[in-house]
Structure 1
Amino acid sequence: MDVLSSRVLLHPTDPQATTAFYRDTLGLAVYREFPGGTVFFLGGGFLEIVGRGQAGPTADMALWLQVRDLAATVAELRQRGVEPISGPKREPWGLDEAWIRDPDGTRIVLVEVPAEHPLRVDVREHT
């Protein structure tokens, strides 16, 4: 399989509220809009808000969003009315994390990768 692009699809119970949350509250840039949906940039991928869901989110799924400065991001989101459900804090695996929810309850982890974390190691130096 040769994957050329990818995106996460969310089917919210309230598409307008969810689209406004990702666009206005989180400040994600819009990649494209079409009748019935909006696609947002998510770093190396995309998030598509499309259609209308019935069941709501599952605890088995979460969005992982890496940010440059977790403390500043959380402070900015608090000013916009978003209170983290946990964090920010350094987790045992070495990442700084804070958790929030979108209007439907979809869990979102905001992650800062500290400079000394293995995810920041340039693997080309070790080959």
Structure 2
Amino acid sequence: MNFLSVGAGGFLGACLRYFLSRRLSPLADFPYGTLLSNVIAAFLIGLIIGLERRSALDPTAKLFLTTGLLGGLSTFSTFSLETVSYLETGHYLLAVSNVGLNVGLCLLFVFAGLALIRLVPAGA
């Protein structure tokens, strides 16, 4: 059952990442789809873990959401390739911006997800 949960979540997460990349990539030379995928995944994992700390989350649901859905949505390998591509083509400012935004915003949004759960009264 765990493999099915992870696989189903991964399928949905990967489809969402593909959708975001297709919708946002034509808008600029910067990989906004990858950035948004990473930030959304960071925020959602903060929410999920914050909820789990408050009350037990079904282990299968946790695998579906974190390893599956968010694993498929988050795109660290794509982010890394895009950054290296910028470096190889001499676009150093874009490379540094990509690293700074992905790392900084993802850390911020994990914190935001955890903080948001702390604001909600237990049992609400």
Q: Answer whether TM exceeds 0.5 for this pair.
A: no
> What range describes the TM-score normalised by the shorter chain of this pair?
under 0.3
Q: Which has the higher contact order (CA 8 A, sep 6+)?
A: 2
Structure in which a larger fraction of residues adopt helix: 2
TM-score, length basis structure 1: 0.25
Structure in which a larger fraction of residues adopt strand: 1
TM-score, length basis structure 2: 0.25
